[in-house]
Amino acid sequence: MTISIKNNQTIPIQSIPVLKYEDFLSVNLSLLQDASSHCVNYYGLFEAGIIKLICCIANDSDHTVLISSSEIIGGENIYPSFTAQHFSFHIFERELHENFGIRYNDHPWLKPVRYPYDHANQESLISNYPFYQIHSEELHEVGVGPIHAGIIEPGHFRFICSGEQIIHLEIQLGYQHRGIEQLFIHKKKLLQRISLAESIAGDSVAGHTTAFINLWESLCNYHPSEELQFSRTLAMELERIAIHTGDLSGICTDIAYQLGSAVFGRLRTPIINFFQSWCGNRLAKGLLRVVKNNYYFNEKLGLELENILDSFESDYIEMWNKFHELPSILARLEKTGVLTTEAAASIGVVGMIAKASGIKRDIRNSHPHDYYTQLKHEPVIKHHGDVYSRTQIRNEEIRQSISYIRNMIQTIPIRNNAEESIGPLQKNSFTLSLAEGWRGEICHCAVTDDNGELIHYKIKDPSMHNWLGLALAVRNNEISDFPICNKSFNLSYCGHDL
């Protein structure tokens, strides 16, 4: 009923079983009965009046992804929803409803996702969106955004509060929709496409680019050399250290702990500056390329990185020891913004947020790619799901990444000087690529036509699922604790809006 593939495996599109919608629904939902399975992507392709739905369920224990599909005609037909039975599908079905006008009879809330220019119901606009309301004398509404007071991106947060307590939070995104998935089709040059992948989310350059490169190389039936795999994995781990350290600084700023904010902020700099000396860009843009490696990681860079990590680690550990012993900090972080394991599992959160709520979900472990196959990664798991758990995850992942990098740079792969070329894309194929960015699971899917041209590209950023996690975590918390909860999730607006 489904076809089982590995991460980064290309299969002919015809080999994906096409099921009747009812079977499609029951097969996929039954797969999710297994707790180690979750949906990594579910989306639709519109072709000649038919909507082809593709559902990808990853099984973490046997390292496979199970793909199935169904063809439906939208229009006036009404379908039963996946969401009614498994809540993690809510965002996918909202997107399907928005893009193709598919009607569901039992979806709880078909809230618009990102208002693309060609969405089915042109009357629904971001400017006239009816926010969820509760009518009561005791409650009041607080609206934040869509222009954020800080430096981050646009999103509207509508709180319904009883005094200081948050009863409900609605998060409205889509202000930053750029049509990235369409641009992947329209831009024909590989360099243009890879630049697009680098701009999906500015803080996950290495993560998204690695996912794109792996997907592309798989579509071209090319197996990267050890050197290429090495630099990709190294970039992803460095990015993780840099962003996690920056997040710790942000968390300190939000609770007005000045020392931590200053020290963690300073510690992030040498890491991103290392990217600068490696590839000339502090955000690692331009570093990773398909087939080739413009910036070979040589012994000299290895030595430089080792020195940076030595001085980073001693300062970092000293600061962390101060940080986690200070009662005023623990009082702010513990039991704040709790996302319970049950809630986290039901909405299908991924990455750091899932790990902080006791769910073992890490692509580096379950669907390893590149160098991760050698690293034998064991994810850090915390069980309380509060802000402090998410802070601890960051701390332990930073240390884990440092030790991985130290191991990796002991044996730097030899430069491959042979000029390699890449063949054309395989025709009529489907590929799925998973990568664990610092924020969590990144999923890219592509489909080619019978000329070997890309006809569909689908991106799923970890933020897609996790935004709802934030909305649930802040319930019954004080509204003044919202910023610290938000920081501890640190989700991407542009990654969601695409």
Partner 1 sequence: MNLLSLIFIVSASLIFTGIVIRTKSIFSGRKGPGIFQPLKDIFRLLKKGSVYSKTSSYIFQIAPTIYFVSILIGIFFIPFGNQQGIISFKGDFVFFAYVLALGKFFMIISALDTGSSFSGMGASREALFSLLVEPAFFMLMASFALLTGHTSFHEIFSSLHFGSYISYAVGILAAIVLVIIALIENSRMPVDDPKTHLELTMVHEVMVLDNSGFDLGIIQYASSLKFAMYGAIIANFFLTPGYEWYFSCAIFAGSQVIFAIIVGIVESFMARFRMNHNPQYIFTLTSVTLLIFLGVLLILGKIG
Strands 78-79 and 103-104: parallel
Of the pair 148, 289, the CB lying nearest partner 1 is at 148
Min separation Cβ 272 and partner 1, Å: 19
Q: Quick check: 147 binds partner 1 (CB under 8 A)?
A: no
Candidate list 98, 217, 247, 254; residue touching partner 1; CB under 8 A = 254
Does residue 138 touch partner 1 according to CB under 8 A? no
CB closer to partner 1 out of 45 and 326: 326
Beta strands in 183-258 (DSSP E): none
Nearer to partner 1, 238 or 263 (CB): 263
Measured from the CB of residue 476, what is the shortest distance to partner 1 in angstroms?
Answer: 12
Among 266, 383, 415, 427, contact with partner 1 (rule: CB under 8 A): 266
Which own/partner contact pairs does 422-425 have at CB distance under 8 Å and 24+ positions apart? 422/217, 422/220, 422/222, 422/290, 422/291, 423/220, 423/221, 423/222, 424/220, 424/452, 425/219, 425/220, 425/452, 425/453, 425/454
134 in contact with partner 1 (CB under 8 A): no
d(CA 464, CA 212): 18
Taking CB under 8 A as the rule, does residue 164 contact partner 1? yes
Q: Where does this chain touch partner 1 (CB under 8 A) — which range of 80-88, 97-105, 136-144, 360-368?
A: 136-144
Q: What are residue 66's DSSP bridge partners? A: 4, 57
Determine, following the binding rule CB under 8 A, whether residue 140 of this chain makes contact with partner 1. Answer: yes
Does residue 263 interact with partner 1 by CB under 8 A? yes
Question: Closest by alpha carbon to 217, among 293, 286, 295, 278?
Answer: 293
In the range 474-493, which residues lie near partner 1 by CB under 8 A?
478-483
The closest of 473, 457, 170 to 343, measured between CA atoms, is 473
Candidate residues 105, 127, 149, 450; the one interacting with partner 1 per rule CB under 8 A: 149
Q: Which is nearer to partner 1, 23 or 315 (CB)?
A: 315
Name which of 288 and 474 has its Cβ closer to partner 1.
474
Minimum distance, C-beta of residue 203 to partner 1, in the bound complex (Å)? 19
Q: Which of 84, 262, 291, 472 binds partner 1 (CB under 8 A)?
A: 262
The helix/strand/coil state of 127 is helix
Q: For residues 146 and 114, is the Cβ–Cβ distance under 8 A?
A: no
Distances from the Cα of 220 to the Cα of 81, 188, 367, 432, 452, angstroms: 36, 15, 20, 13, 10
What stretches of 154-266 adopt beta strand conformation (E)?
A: 156-162, 165-172
Which of positions 311-330 make contact with partner 1 (CB under 8 A)?
Answer: 326, 328-329
Nearest residue (CB) to partner 1, 70 versus 261: 261
- The residue within the footprint of partner 1, chosen from 67, 215, 252, 380 (CB under 8 A), is 252
**Residues of 386-424 as b/e, b for ≥16 C-beta within 10 angstroms?**
bbbbbbbbbbbbbbbbbebbeebbeebbeeeeeeeeeee
| Amino acid identity, position 103 | R
In degrees rounded to 5, what are phi and psi of residue 448? -115, 160
Q: Shortest distance, CB of residue 498 to partner 1, whole angstroms?
A: 27
- Residues that bind partner 1 in the complex, under the rule CB under 8 A: 140-144, 149-150, 164, 252, 254-259, 261-263, 266, 326, 328-329, 331-332, 336, 478-483
